[in-house]
C-alpha cells in the first residue's frame, strides 16, 4: 500500500538543485550570515598583547586574538600568504554555513511507479548529496521495502545523483574528478542495489545501521536481498517527466553541521570538494570571501575546498591563506554557531575528546576546537582553532612552512608549543562538547 508522499528523516547527508562547478549555484544565502564588519578588525600591525614563542623562526607564522571585543591581538608573519592545506576546510565550512545554514538538510527524492506486471520502476534524484554510501543505500532499501518496493526493474537517475560508496572509508583520498561522474554512479548503484554483490563491507554497514537503531530502542528491516535490473541516466529529463503523478518517497538527511563535523574531524577531501563544487566553486567562493569575510586575494586564495592543489598550465597551484584570514574565518564560524545555539564542538574537532587528525601530547580539557592541515609535496603543517580560557574565547592560527618533511616532529613541537603557551598564559576553561561518531550519519 503506497502513501502518496512520505518524508523520512535520516542522519546522513544531501543537497539540492544546482550544477556542480557552475559559477553561480542558485542557492540563496542562509537566513543568518555574519557581516564582515562584525568580524575581527584588528590589523596584523597592532601592538602585540603578549610576547610569543618562535617570533624569529622564519618557518612559523602565528597569530591570536581575543573574541571579547578588547582587540587583544598578537602575531608575526601574519599577513603573508602560505599554503593553507586542509585548514582550507574551515573556509569551506564558513562558505557552506553562509549559503545553507547549520540545519540545512539534503533530500533524496524517489518516484515510484508500479507496472502492469507487478514490477516497479523508480526515479532517483539525490541532489548532489556528497555522501551516498553503503549505509545510506541500505537505509533507502529499507524505506523502499516499507513502501512495497522489494525490487526495482528500471532505476532512472538524474544527472545530480552521484554515488561514491566508500566516501567515509577513505577520507584522505585524492580523486581526479569530484563529484564522481554519472557513469561511476551508475556502476556503484548497480553494485550496491544487487545483493549478489554484497560482502563484508555491506555486512558491516548493515550492522552500523541496525546498531544505531537499537541504541534508540528502535528496529529497522533492512532487506536481506535486493535487485535492480537496469540503472539508466536521465540525460534529457524525459524520464523524470514520465514519472509525473507517481508515488513520492522523500528521504531527508541530517543537518549540515554534522557533515561539517565529519569534514573537520577526519579531513574528508571528497565531501569538501563536492560541497565546494555544489556551492559554485572558486568564483562563488571568491565573492563570499569579499562580501562576507572582507578578504581579498592578497589574503586568501581558494582553488579547492579540500586544500588539495590544482594544476594550471602545467604548474601546481595551492590554496593559500594568511594567518590573519584564519582568525577571521574562525570568528565567522563562531558567530554562526552562536546564532544557531550550537556547540562549536559539533562543527570542529574537539581536542582531547575526538579521535581525528590532531595528535598531541598536550593535556587539553574540552577547551580547544580546531582543524589541522598537512601537505607533504610542499611541506606544510597548519592549525586553526578557538580556545576557551578563563578570560574568554581566543582564536588562533598556526602556519608551518619552508621546512623539510624530515623535520615534521620539530614543527609539530612548535605548533603545540604555541598552543600550550596560549593555554598556560590565559588558563583554559572547559567548554566544548563533541558528537558521538555514529550520530553524524545515522538516525
Q: Tell whether the model's pLDDT for residue 220 goes beyond 60.
A: yes
Percentage of residues in the chain with pLDDT exceeding 70? 90
**How many CB atoms are located within 10 Å of the residue 264 CB?**
29
The cell numbers describing 313, all together, are: 598550465
pLDDT interval class at 215 (50, 70, 90): confident
pLDDT interval class at 15 (50, 70, 90): very low
Q: Give the span between the Cα atoms of 328 and 325, in whole angstroms.
A: 5
**Which helix (H) or strand (E) segment is 240 a member of?**
helix 238-242
Q: Tell whether the model's pLDDT for residue 32 goes beyond 90.
A: no
Q: Tell whether the model's pLDDT for residue 10 goes beyond 70.
A: no
Q: What is the pLDDT of residue 28?
A: 53
Q: What is the pLDDT of residue 438?
A: 58
Q: Tell whether the model's pLDDT for residue 166 goes beyond 90.
A: no
pLDDT, mean of residues 75-88: 97
Which one, of 142, 188, 144, lies nearest residue 163 by Cα? 188
Q: Tell whether the model's pLDDT for residue 6 goes beyond 60.
A: no
Q: What is the pLDDT of residue 29?
A: 56
Q: Say which residue the cell 531527508 belongs to.
A: 252
pLDDT digits (tens, 9 = 90+) for 357-366: 999 999 999 9
Q: How far is CA 58 from CA 53, 367, 375, 399, in A?
A: 12, 29, 18, 11
Which one, of 165, 164, 158, 256, lies nearest residue 205 by Cα? 165
Bond from prior residue into 179 cis (ω within 30 degrees of 0): yes
Q: What is the pLDDT of residue 168?
A: 86
Q: How far is CA 48 from CA 6, 26, 51, 65, 295, in A?
A: 58, 43, 7, 10, 22
Q: What is the pLDDT of residue 46?
A: 64
Weakest-pLDDT range from 162-171, 258-267, 390-399: 162-171
Q: Tell whether the model's pLDDT for residue 271 goes beyond 70.
A: yes
Alpha-carbon Rg for the chain, nearest whole angstrom, is 23
pTM (two decimals): 0.92
Task: Count helices and strands (H / E) in the chain.
Answer: 10, 17
Q: Mean pLDDT in the chain?
A: 91
Q: What is the pLDDT of residue 31?
A: 62
The cell numbers describing 158, all together, are: 538524474
68, burial (CB in 10 Å: exposed 0-12, middle 13-18, buried 19+): exposed
Q: Tell whether the model's pLDDT for residue 8 goes beyond 80.
A: no
pLDDT, mean of residues 9-24: 38
Q: Give the span between the Cα atoms of 216 and 261, in whole angstroms.
A: 21
Structural domains present in the chain = 5-24+103-257 (3.50.80.20), 48-102+267-436 (3.40.710.10)
Q: Tell whether the model's pLDDT for residue 75 goes beyond 90.
A: yes
Amino acid at each position: 500500500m503506497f502513501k502518496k508522499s512520505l518524508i523520512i528523516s535520516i542522519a546522513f547527508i544531501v543537497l539540492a538543485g544546482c550544477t556542480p562547478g557552475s559559477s553561480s549555484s542558485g542557492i540563496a544565502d542562509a537566513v543568518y550570515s555574519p557581516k564582515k564588519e562584525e568580524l575581527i578588525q584588528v590589523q596584523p600591525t597592532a601592538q602585540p598583547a603578549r610576547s610569543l614563542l618562535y617570533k624569529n623562526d622564519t618557518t612559523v607564522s602565528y597569530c591570536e586574538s581575543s573574541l571579547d571585543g578588547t582587540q587583544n591581538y598578537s602575531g608575526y608573519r601574519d599577513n603573508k600568504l602560505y599554503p593553507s592545506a586542509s585548514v582550507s576546510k574551515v573556509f569551506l565550512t564558513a562558505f557552506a554555513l553562509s549559503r545553507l545554514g547549520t540545519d540545512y538538510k539534503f533530500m533524496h527524492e524517489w518516484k515510484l511507479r508500479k507496472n502492469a506486471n507487478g514490477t516497479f520502476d523508480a526515479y532517483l534524484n539525490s541532489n548532489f548529496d556528497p555522501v551516498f554510501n553503503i549505509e545510506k543505500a541500505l537505509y533507502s532499501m529499507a524505506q523502499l521495502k516499507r513502501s512495497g518496493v522489494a525490487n526495482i526493474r528500471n532505476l532512472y537517475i538524474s544527472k545530480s545523483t552521484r554515488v561514491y560508496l566508500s566516501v567515509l572509508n577513505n577520507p584522505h583520498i585524492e580523486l581526479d574528478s569530484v563529484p564522481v561522474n554519472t557513469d561511476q554512479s551508475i556502476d556503484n548503484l548497480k553494485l550496491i542495489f544487487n545483493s549478489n554483490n554484497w560482502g563484508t563491507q555491506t555486512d558491516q554497514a548493515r550492522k552500523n545501521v541496525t546498531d544505531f537503531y537499537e541504541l534508540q530502542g528502535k528496529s529497522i528491516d533492512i532487506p536481506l536481498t535486493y535487485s535492480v535490473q537496469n540503472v539508466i541516466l536521465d540525460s534529457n529529463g524525459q524520464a523524470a517527466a514520465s514519472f509525473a503523478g507517481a508515488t513520492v518517497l522523500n528521504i531527508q538527511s541530517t543537518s549540515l553541521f554534522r557533515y561539517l563535523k565529519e569534514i573537520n574531524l577526519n579531513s574528508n577531501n571528497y565531501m569538501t570538494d563536492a560541497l565546494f563544487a555544489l556551492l559554485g566553486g572558486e568564483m562563488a567562493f571568491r565573492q563570499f570571501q569579499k562580501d562576507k569575510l572582507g578578504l581579498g586575494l592578497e589574503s586568501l586564495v581558494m582553488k579547492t575546498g579540500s586544500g588539495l592543489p590544482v594544476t594550471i598550465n602545467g604548474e601546481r597551484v595551492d590554496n593559500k591563506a594568511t594567518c590573519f584570514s584564519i582568525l577571521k574565518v574562525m570568528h565567522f564560524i563562531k558567530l554562526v554557531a552562536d546564532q544557531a545555539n550550537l556547540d562549536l564542538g559539533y562543527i570542529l574537532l574537539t581536542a582531547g575528546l575526538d579521535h581525528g587528525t590532531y595528535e598531541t601530547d598536550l593535556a587539553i580539557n574540552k577547551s580547544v576546537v580546531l582543524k589541522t592541515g598537512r601537505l607533504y609535496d610542499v611541506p606544510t603543517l597548519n592549525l586553526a582553532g578557538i580556545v576557551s580560557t578563563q578570560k574568554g574565547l581566543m582564536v588562533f592560527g598556526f602556519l608551518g612552512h619552508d621546512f623539510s618533511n624530515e623535520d615534521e616532529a620539530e614543527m609539530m613541537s612548535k605548533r603545540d608549543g604555541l598552543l600550550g603557551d596560549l593555554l598556560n598564559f590565559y588558563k583554559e576553561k572547559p567548554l566544548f562538547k563533541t558528537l558521538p561518531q555514529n550520530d553524524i550519519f545515522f538516525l
